Amino acid sequence: MVTASELELGAKVMTADGKEIGTVREIGSDRFKVERRVFPDYWLANEYVDDVAGGIVQLIVTKEGLGAAKL
């Protein structure tokens, strides 16, 4: 599981199927808030992060599976 120290504010958040869903707005100890331009922001648990590299947070869930992952 990714730790809070590995996440970066402003990093792009990408789903497992390659869709950009927003950016990291806030970072908690075990979760982070995804900022959306048009839609409401929401929190995701760090357990849904596969990798963090090059300013991109790669998730293990697809865009379709996000509803169940939101906190």
Tell me the pLDDT tens digit for each residue of 42-55: 999 999 999 999 99
Q: Which pTM does this prediction carry?
A: 0.94
What pLDDT score was predicted for residue 64? 95
Domain boundaries, the chain: 4-63
Summarize the confidence of residues 54-66 as an average pLDDT. Answer: 96
pLDDT in tens, 2-57: 889 999 999 999 999 999 999 999 999 999 999 998 899 999 999 999 999 999 99
What pLDDT score was predicted for residue 1? 76
Give the span between the Cα atoms of 12 and 24, in whole angstroms: 7
Number of residues assigned to the chain: 71
CATH 2.30.30.240 fits 4-63, yes or no: yes
Quote the tokens at residue 45: 């648990």
